Amino acid sequence: MTETKTETSKDTGKDTHKLRSAKHIAVVNGIGLKKVHAKRLRDMYRSAGWPFLDVVEIELLAAGLLERLQEEGGHERMRVTDAGIQFLAQAANSNRQAKDPHEALVEKVANEMLKEGRLVWTNLSLRAKVTLQDEEQVSWRYCMPDVFSIRNSSVQAYLEPVVHEIKVNRADLLGDLKQPEKRAAYLELGGQCWYVLGRDAKDRPIAEPDEIPVECGVIQLVQERLEILRMAPKRQFNHLPFAVWMNLAKATPLRRSDAEPYQVMH
Protein backbone atom coordinates (compact mmCIF):
# COMPACT_ATOMS: atom_id res chain seq x y z
CA MET A 1 0.00 0.00 0.00
CA THR A 2 1.25 3.49 -0.90
CA GLU A 3 0.63 6.45 1.36
CA THR A 4 0.54 9.85 -0.32
CA LYS A 5 0.40 13.17 1.48
CA THR A 6 -0.23 16.48 -0.29
CA GLU A 7 0.75 19.85 1.14
CA THR A 8 0.54 23.38 -0.24
CA SER A 9 3.66 25.53 -0.11
CA LYS A 10 3.02 28.94 1.41
CA ASP A 11 5.83 30.49 -0.63
CA THR A 12 4.99 29.19 -4.11
CA GLY A 13 1.37 28.12 -3.80
CA LYS A 14 2.32 24.86 -5.52
CA ASP A 15 1.36 21.43 -4.30
CA THR A 16 4.25 19.49 -2.77
CA HIS A 17 3.70 15.74 -2.72
CA LYS A 18 5.41 13.42 -0.26
CA LEU A 19 5.15 9.77 -1.30
CA ARG A 20 6.21 6.80 0.79
CA SER A 21 6.57 3.59 -1.14
CA ALA A 22 9.09 0.89 -1.90
CA LYS A 23 10.30 2.90 -4.91
CA HIS A 24 10.26 6.51 -3.73
CA ILE A 25 11.11 8.04 -0.38
CA ALA A 26 9.53 11.36 -1.38
CA VAL A 27 8.07 13.37 -4.24
CA VAL A 28 9.15 17.03 -4.28
CA ASN A 29 7.74 19.44 -6.86
CA GLY A 30 6.59 16.49 -8.92
CA ILE A 31 10.01 14.78 -8.94
CA GLY A 32 10.10 11.26 -7.46
CA LEU A 33 13.14 10.91 -5.21
CA LYS A 34 14.82 7.66 -4.20
CA LYS A 35 17.59 6.74 -1.77
CA VAL A 36 20.15 7.45 -4.48
CA HIS A 37 18.98 11.08 -4.51
CA ALA A 38 19.34 11.39 -0.73
CA LYS A 39 22.84 9.87 -0.90
CA ARG A 40 23.88 12.24 -3.69
CA LEU A 41 22.53 15.19 -1.73
CA ARG A 42 24.53 14.12 1.36
CA ASP A 43 27.66 13.68 -0.75
CA MET A 44 27.17 17.10 -2.34
CA TYR A 45 26.68 18.72 1.07
CA ARG A 46 30.01 17.29 2.27
CA SER A 47 31.95 18.09 -0.91
CA ALA A 48 33.12 21.18 -2.81
CA GLY A 49 30.05 20.87 -5.01
CA TRP A 50 31.58 19.82 -8.32
CA PRO A 51 28.78 18.74 -10.68
CA PHE A 52 28.23 15.13 -11.79
CA LEU A 53 26.21 16.14 -14.87
CA ASP A 54 23.93 13.10 -14.66
CA VAL A 55 20.21 12.36 -14.35
CA VAL A 56 20.28 12.25 -10.54
CA GLU A 57 21.70 15.77 -10.45
CA ILE A 58 19.16 17.01 -12.99
CA GLU A 59 16.30 15.67 -10.87
CA LEU A 60 17.69 17.25 -7.70
CA LEU A 61 17.98 20.58 -9.52
CA ALA A 62 14.42 20.29 -10.83
CA ALA A 63 13.16 19.48 -7.32
CA GLY A 64 14.83 22.62 -5.98
CA LEU A 65 17.11 20.71 -3.60
CA LEU A 66 20.26 21.73 -5.48
CA GLU A 67 21.15 25.01 -7.15
CA ARG A 68 23.87 26.03 -9.60
CA LEU A 69 26.53 28.58 -8.67
CA GLN A 70 28.73 30.30 -11.25
CA GLU A 71 32.39 30.74 -10.28
CA GLU A 72 34.41 33.77 -11.38
CA GLY A 73 36.53 31.63 -13.68
CA GLY A 74 33.47 30.32 -15.46
CA HIS A 75 33.30 27.03 -13.59
CA GLU A 76 29.99 25.84 -12.21
CA ARG A 77 29.41 24.37 -8.76
CA MET A 78 26.40 22.88 -7.03
CA ARG A 79 25.07 23.92 -3.64
CA VAL A 80 22.46 22.27 -1.44
CA THR A 81 19.52 24.66 -1.00
CA ASP A 82 17.63 25.30 2.24
CA ALA A 83 14.93 22.96 0.92
CA GLY A 84 17.65 20.34 0.38
CA ILE A 85 18.87 20.73 3.96
CA GLN A 86 15.32 20.26 5.22
CA PHE A 87 14.91 17.17 3.03
CA LEU A 88 18.13 15.65 4.42
CA ALA A 89 17.02 16.34 8.00
CA GLN A 90 13.64 14.69 7.39
CA ALA A 91 15.28 11.69 5.71
CA ALA A 92 17.70 11.26 8.63
CA ASN A 93 14.85 11.45 11.14
CA SER A 94 12.82 8.88 9.19
CA ASN A 95 15.80 6.52 9.10
CA ARG A 96 16.28 6.79 12.87
CA GLN A 97 12.60 6.10 13.54
CA ALA A 98 12.61 3.08 11.22
CA LYS A 99 15.40 1.32 13.11
CA ASP A 100 15.01 -0.47 16.41
CA PRO A 101 17.37 0.65 19.23
CA HIS A 102 19.71 -2.33 18.84
CA GLU A 103 20.04 -1.94 15.08
CA ALA A 104 20.61 1.80 15.41
CA LEU A 105 23.35 1.33 18.02
CA VAL A 106 25.06 -1.38 15.95
CA GLU A 107 25.14 1.01 13.02
CA LYS A 108 26.52 3.85 15.15
CA VAL A 109 29.38 1.70 16.45
CA ALA A 110 30.09 0.25 13.00
CA ASN A 111 30.22 3.72 11.49
CA GLU A 112 32.67 4.85 14.16
CA MET A 113 34.97 1.94 13.32
CA LEU A 114 34.68 2.79 9.63
CA LYS A 115 35.58 6.39 10.37
CA GLU A 116 38.78 5.16 12.00
CA GLY A 117 39.67 3.46 8.72
CA ARG A 118 38.97 -0.09 9.89
CA LEU A 119 37.37 -2.92 7.92
CA VAL A 120 34.04 -3.70 9.56
CA TRP A 121 31.56 -6.58 9.49
CA THR A 122 28.29 -7.03 11.37
CA ASN A 123 26.38 -10.17 12.39
CA LEU A 124 29.12 -12.60 11.42
CA SER A 125 28.92 -16.22 12.53
CA LEU A 126 32.41 -17.14 13.73
CA ARG A 127 33.98 -20.11 15.47
CA ALA A 128 36.62 -19.74 18.17
CA LYS A 129 38.74 -22.21 20.12
CA VAL A 130 38.38 -21.49 23.85
CA THR A 131 39.41 -23.00 27.16
CA LEU A 132 37.50 -22.06 30.31
CA GLN A 133 39.04 -22.14 33.76
CA ASP A 134 36.76 -24.97 34.90
CA GLU A 135 37.38 -27.02 31.74
CA GLU A 136 40.52 -28.99 30.95
CA GLN A 137 39.95 -29.55 27.24
CA VAL A 138 39.86 -26.98 24.48
CA SER A 139 36.44 -26.62 22.85
CA TRP A 140 35.04 -24.83 19.81
CA ARG A 141 32.40 -22.17 20.32
CA TYR A 142 30.24 -20.41 17.77
CA CYS A 143 29.57 -16.74 18.34
CA MET A 144 27.99 -13.82 16.46
CA PRO A 145 29.65 -10.52 17.42
CA ASP A 146 27.45 -7.54 16.65
CA VAL A 147 30.42 -5.63 15.23
CA PHE A 148 33.76 -7.17 14.25
CA SER A 149 36.54 -5.01 12.85
CA ILE A 150 40.21 -5.15 11.94
CA ARG A 151 42.76 -2.55 10.91
CA ASN A 152 43.23 -2.08 7.18
CA SER A 153 46.69 -3.66 7.13
CA SER A 154 48.45 -6.38 5.14
CA VAL A 155 50.52 -7.37 8.18
CA GLN A 156 48.83 -9.94 10.42
CA ALA A 157 50.40 -8.65 13.61
CA TYR A 158 48.99 -5.16 12.97
CA LEU A 159 45.36 -6.17 12.39
CA GLU A 160 44.22 -5.55 15.99
CA PRO A 161 40.81 -7.27 15.70
CA VAL A 162 38.11 -5.79 17.94
CA VAL A 163 34.72 -7.16 18.98
CA HIS A 164 31.85 -4.88 20.00
CA GLU A 165 28.86 -6.50 21.71
CA ILE A 166 25.80 -4.23 21.68
CA LYS A 167 23.22 -4.37 24.49
CA VAL A 168 20.11 -2.20 24.78
CA ASN A 169 18.15 -4.35 27.23
CA ARG A 170 19.23 -5.04 30.81
CA ALA A 171 17.73 -8.53 30.96
CA ASP A 172 19.54 -9.44 27.74
CA LEU A 173 22.80 -8.06 29.13
CA LEU A 174 22.52 -9.98 32.40
CA GLY A 175 21.77 -13.18 30.48
CA ASP A 176 24.82 -12.58 28.30
CA LEU A 177 27.08 -12.02 31.30
CA LYS A 178 26.15 -15.49 32.56
CA GLN A 179 27.79 -17.05 29.50
CA PRO A 180 31.55 -16.99 30.14
CA GLU A 181 32.15 -19.26 27.13
CA LYS A 182 30.66 -16.65 24.80
CA ARG A 183 32.85 -13.93 26.27
CA ALA A 184 35.89 -16.21 26.01
CA ALA A 185 35.14 -16.74 22.33
CA TYR A 186 34.99 -12.99 21.75
CA LEU A 187 38.28 -12.49 23.54
CA GLU A 188 39.86 -15.28 21.50
CA LEU A 189 38.76 -13.62 18.26
CA GLY A 190 39.75 -10.08 19.12
CA GLY A 191 42.58 -8.21 20.68
CA GLN A 192 39.90 -6.20 22.49
CA CYS A 193 36.30 -6.84 23.48
CA TRP A 194 33.87 -4.01 24.26
CA TYR A 195 30.35 -3.95 25.67
CA VAL A 196 28.35 -1.06 24.24
CA LEU A 197 25.43 -0.20 26.54
CA GLY A 198 22.24 1.50 25.42
CA ARG A 199 19.57 3.18 27.51
CA ASP A 200 16.16 2.09 28.78
CA ALA A 201 12.74 3.63 28.07
CA LYS A 202 13.36 6.25 30.78
CA ASP A 203 16.71 7.20 29.22
CA ARG A 204 18.71 5.55 32.00
CA PRO A 205 21.86 3.44 31.43
CA ILE A 206 20.99 -0.26 31.41
CA ALA A 207 24.07 -1.04 33.53
CA GLU A 208 27.05 0.45 35.33
CA PRO A 209 30.65 -0.18 34.24
CA ASP A 210 31.48 -2.23 37.33
CA GLU A 211 28.82 -4.78 36.30
CA ILE A 212 30.84 -5.65 33.20
CA PRO A 213 33.77 -8.10 33.56
CA VAL A 214 37.11 -6.31 33.79
CA GLU A 215 38.51 -8.09 30.74
CA CYS A 216 36.08 -6.09 28.59
CA GLY A 217 35.85 -2.39 27.89
CA VAL A 218 32.64 -0.38 28.40
CA ILE A 219 31.10 2.20 26.08
CA GLN A 220 27.89 4.02 27.02
CA LEU A 221 25.37 5.75 24.77
CA VAL A 222 24.87 9.26 26.18
CA GLN A 223 22.65 11.77 24.37
CA GLU A 224 23.17 9.98 21.05
CA ARG A 225 26.94 10.01 21.53
CA LEU A 226 29.29 7.15 22.41
CA GLU A 227 31.39 7.69 25.53
CA ILE A 228 34.15 5.40 26.71
CA LEU A 229 33.62 4.64 30.39
CA ARG A 230 36.38 2.04 30.71
CA MET A 231 39.11 1.08 28.28
CA ALA A 232 39.28 -2.50 27.05
CA PRO A 233 42.56 -4.24 27.92
CA LYS A 234 44.65 -5.08 24.86
CA ARG A 235 45.42 -8.77 24.53
CA GLN A 236 48.44 -10.19 22.77
CA PHE A 237 47.48 -11.04 19.21
CA ASN A 238 49.51 -12.83 16.55
CA HIS A 239 47.18 -13.85 13.74
CA LEU A 240 43.57 -14.54 12.82
CA PRO A 241 42.65 -18.23 12.50
CA PHE A 242 42.20 -19.50 8.95
CA ALA A 243 38.52 -20.26 9.60
CA VAL A 244 37.92 -16.62 10.52
CA TRP A 245 39.64 -15.46 7.34
CA MET A 246 37.33 -17.73 5.33
CA ASN A 247 34.27 -16.21 7.01
CA LEU A 248 35.51 -12.69 6.32
CA ALA A 249 36.20 -13.58 2.69
CA LYS A 250 32.63 -14.84 2.24
CA ALA A 251 31.07 -11.79 3.91
CA THR A 252 30.90 -8.21 2.64
CA PRO A 253 32.46 -5.47 4.78
CA LEU A 254 30.40 -2.37 5.42
CA ARG A 255 30.83 0.83 3.46
CA ARG A 256 31.81 4.06 5.13
CA SER A 257 29.25 6.69 6.16
CA ASP A 258 29.21 9.62 8.57
CA ALA A 259 29.73 8.87 12.25
CA GLU A 260 30.33 10.74 15.45
CA PRO A 261 33.61 10.15 17.33
CA TYR A 262 33.82 8.65 20.77
CA GLN A 263 34.08 11.03 23.69
CA VAL A 264 36.39 9.80 26.43
CA MET A 265 35.18 10.63 29.94
CA HIS A 266 37.92 12.07 32.12
Which residue ranges form the domains of the chain, and what is each CATH number? Answer: 3-98 (1.10.10), 101-264 (no CATH)
pLDDT at 155 over 70: yes
Q: How far, in whole angstroms, is CA 133 from its chain's centroid?
A: 35
For 117, which DSSP code? T
- The pTM for the full model equals 0.62
pLDDT at residue 19 in the model: 39
pLDDT at residue 210 in the model: 95
pLDDT at residue 216 in the model: 95
Give the residues across from 30 on adjacent strands: none
The mean pLDDT value of the chain amounts to: 83
pLDDT tens across 187-227, in order?
A: 888 789 999 999 998 999 999 999 999 999 999 999 889 99
Phi, psi of 71 (to 5 degrees): -80, 160
Give the residues across from 15 on adjacent strands: 8
Q: How confident is the model at residue 169 (pLDDT cuts 50, 70, 90)?
A: very high
Q: How confident is the model at residue 133 (pLDDT cuts 50, 70, 90)?
A: low
End-to-end distance of the chain based on CA atoms, in angstroms?
Answer: 51
Mean pLDDT, residues 74-96 taken together: 88
Which amino acid belongs to residue 155? V
CA distance 31 to 35: 13
pLDDT tens across 33-72, in order?
A: 988 899 899 889 988 888 989 999 999 999 999 999 998 8
Which amino acid belongs to residue 87? F
CA distance 48 to 52: 12
pLDDT at residue 12 in the model: 39
Which residue spans within the chain are E strands per DSSP? 3-8, 15-20, 26-28, 31-33, 66-70, 76-80, 119-122, 126-130, 139-143, 147-150, 162-167, 192-197, 217-222, 225-230, 263-264
Mean pLDDT, residues 81-85 taken together: 94
Per the CB < 8 A criterion, the answer to whether 124 and 251 are in contact is yes
pLDDT at residue 2 in the model: 30
pLDDT at residue 134 in the model: 60
Q: How many other CB atoms sit within 10 Å of the CB of residue 141? A: 18
- Best CA proximity match to 147, nearest among 175, 174, 100, 114: 114
pLDDT at 149 over 80: yes
Mean pLDDT, residues 82-110 taken together: 87
Mean pLDDT, residues 163-168 taken together: 96
pLDDT at residue 257 in the model: 54
pLDDT at 86 over 90: yes
pLDDT at residue 36 in the model: 87
